[in-house]
Structure 1
Amino acid sequence: MRKLLTFAATAALMAGVTTAHAADKLGLVVSTLNNPFFVSLKDGAQAEAKKLGYDLVVLDSQNDPAKELSNVEDVLGKNIKVLLINPTDSDAVKAAVRTANHADVPVVTLDRSANGGKVATHIASDNVAGGKMAGDEIIKLLGGKGKVAELQGVPGTSAARDRGKGFHDAVAADKNIDVVASQPADFDRTKGLNVMENILQAHPDVQAVFAQNDEMALGALKAIQGSGHKIYVVGFDGTDDGVAAVKAGTMAATIAQQANKIGALGVDAAAKIIKGQSVPKYTPVPLKMITK
């Protein structure tokens, strides 16, 4: 009986090892994990990969296009079936996408698109619509008249371009709204603080700010609180810190993305690609306005 049990245990162990090694690998290269939004995106992808039985290799590009390309080369060497990538820059990522193309590994872009190379599908929020939602909210908060500043994300990213377009489309329709400053703060909280301080020095009469993500919005809030001015701040992403600031009444609103869902849908798309199923060129993820 002992021998039979030992044999059964050994067989079960070997089966477990075989299953683990047989699991298809997916690669996820993230622009940065020093941002709560992208941490949530990664968490969503990891949870979905575990649920579907895939091994997910995650690498952090630290907002560096050169490191991003190196990460893609590294993860391609791990025999992945599909590359999921959240680009540091929509133009710079072209080299990474083409590297995957040459290796015959399908590419799925998340949150930010790629301006070159072959991509199987792109999964993101409708950033133009979100930017317009932010602009419309600011117009409402100001009663249709006032001076506004904009903190832009990383130049060259599709998210910064599209959110900015939607915002400017909205405020341009109202002749009494004056955008007095539009400056990049690279989606970074500390840079958001510094840029907002500079804007306040040049334009102390600013009445509202659109920050293209919550991290910059929270940095801007700190600068505004230090100045003593009453200024409405609208962010973007719906991160935990951003939502908490809205609920506390210090931030006027945030346009909430569903970062976890973007990551999960990326893995779902990868699973379909592996199975030979078709995927749409673009999968929009719904947005919602969060106010107090």
Structure 2
Amino acid sequence: MKRAVWLVVFIMILSLSVFSIKIGLSLSTLNNPFFVELRNGALQEAVNQGVDIVVVDAQDKPYKQLNDIEDLVQQRVDLIIINPTDSDAIVAAVEEANNAGIPVITVDRAANGGKVILHIASDNVAGGAMAAKYIADLLNGKGNVVELVGIPGTSAARDRGLGFETELKKYPGLKLIAKQTANFNRAEGLSVMENLLQAYPEIDAVFAQNDEMALGAIEAIKSEGKLGKIVVVGFDAIPDAVNAVKNGEMAATVAQQPSLMGELAVKKAVEYLETQTIYIPVNLKLVVK
């Protein structure tokens, strides 16, 4: 009798190990609080769903992300969630997962090729436009503006720039006098802004495509004694940026919800693996007289 009970227990354990879901999460970098929050949201949802998750950090290096995803493919994870370092460079990794029969979800930044079952992101075009409109309001539609660009190969940089520049053109008195890359990095934001301040003495506003670059720009502006004279708007609403807004160093930051992105990515991954479909509800609207 005892032997029979142990046999049943063994079969149950074996069944759980065979059928448990294992998800890979490849992040562009964990050297940015935004992606740390995204990871934390994914980890918490994995606990809620009772699934395993393997997190890898590409350290903003496309070749490392490709290697990381190759490792996840070798581990035979059931699904891979990817936050690309570069929307073009990631295509080879997506295709490798496709060829192995492993479904892919992208989050925050899109892939420019390969088969992706779902992309989860904020509306970066709308966010860029929101930043431009706020700057226009603060400057009464007149002034010199510079833009700090993120990693050029990412969809986030492309879309935020598109939204910002398209909206800015609606205000003839606002001039985009410079646009330089700082790769979503705080140290680069500092050095690029230092150079811009030397090249363009009359800067009225800065739009940084993420908060890390915005915070670097603020340090450069402080060093030149121009804090409070130049409007700085960032993107992401990481804790340091929110504090900078509160203390008046930064005018605004466009808020995203990275933790919710990570949570939703895992939730939809499990949903797809269990049902082979993804349900995306559309809000209902009550029509009354």
TM-score normalised according to structure 2 size: 0.91
2:175 is paired with a residue whose SS is: strand
How do 1:76-225 and structure 2 match up within 5 A?
Answer: 76-225=73-222
Whole-Å separation in 2 of the counterparts to 1:279 and 1:189 = 37
1:186 is paired with a residue whose SS is: coil
Is residue 54 of structure 1 aligned with residue 51 of structure 2? yes
**Overall identity of the aligned pairs, in %:** 52
2:271 is paired with a residue whose SS is: helix
Relative to 1, partners in 2 of residues 1:222 and 1:95: Cα closer, same or farther, differing over 3 Å? same
2:109 is paired with a residue whose SS is: coil
Q: Shift of residue 12 of structure 1?
A: 8.0
In structure 1, stretches of 5+ residues that fail to align are 1-7, 284-292
1:75 alignment counterpart: 72
1:47 is paired with a residue whose SS is: helix
1:266 alignment counterpart: 265
Q: Which amino acid aligns with 2:210?
A: N
Q: Shift of residue 23 of structure 1?
A: 2.4
1:4 alignment counterpart: none
Instruction: Note the alpha carbon deviations across 1:70-107, whole angstroms, 9 max, x for none.
Output: 00010112221110000000000000000000000000
TM-score normalised according to structure 1 size: 0.90
1:92 is paired with a residue whose SS is: coil
Whole-Å separation in 1 of the counterparts to 2:92 and 2:138 = 43
Whole-Å separation in 2 of the counterparts to 1:16 and 1:247 = 52
Q: Which amino acid aligns with 1:278?
A: T
Whole-Å separation in 2 of the counterparts to 1:18 and 1:204 = 68
Whole-Å separation in 1 of the counterparts to 2:252 and 2:60 = 27
Relative to 1, partners in 2 of residues 1:13 and 1:222: Cα closer, same or farther, differing over 3 Å? farther
Please identify runs of 4+ aligned residues in structure 1 that moved more than 4 A: 11-22
Q: Which amino acid aligns with 2:34?
A: F
How do 1:203-282 and structure 2 match up within 5 A?
Answer: 203-229=200-226, 230-279=229-278
Q: Is the 8 A contact 1:41 1:262 kept in 2?
A: yes
RMSD: 2.3
Q: Is the 8 A contact 1:90 1:158 kept in 2?
A: yes
Q: Which amino acid aligns with 2:265?
A: G
1:24 alignment counterpart: 21
Is residue 36 of structure 1 aligned with residue 33 of structure 2? yes
Residues matched between the structures, number: 278
Whole-Å separation in 2 of the counterparts to 1:162 and 1:79 = 33
Instruction: Note the alpha carbon deviations across 1:98-118, whole angstroms, 9 max, x for none.
Output: 000000000000000000000
Instruction: Note the alpha carbon deviations across 1:234-280, whole angstroms, 9 max, x for none.
Output: 00001011111111111000001000011111001101110124227
Relative to 1, partners in 2 of residues 1:130 and 1:280: Cα closer, same or farther, differing over 3 Å? farther
1:287 alignment counterpart: none
Relative to 1, partners in 2 of residues 1:17 and 1:195: Cα closer, same or farther, differing over 3 Å? farther
Q: Is the 8 A contact 1:121 1:280 kept in 2?
A: no
Whole-Å separation in 2 of the counterparts to 1:242 and 1:259 = 14
Whole-Å separation in 1 of the counterparts to 2:125 and 2:172 = 20
In structure 2, stretches of 5+ residues that fail to align are 283-289
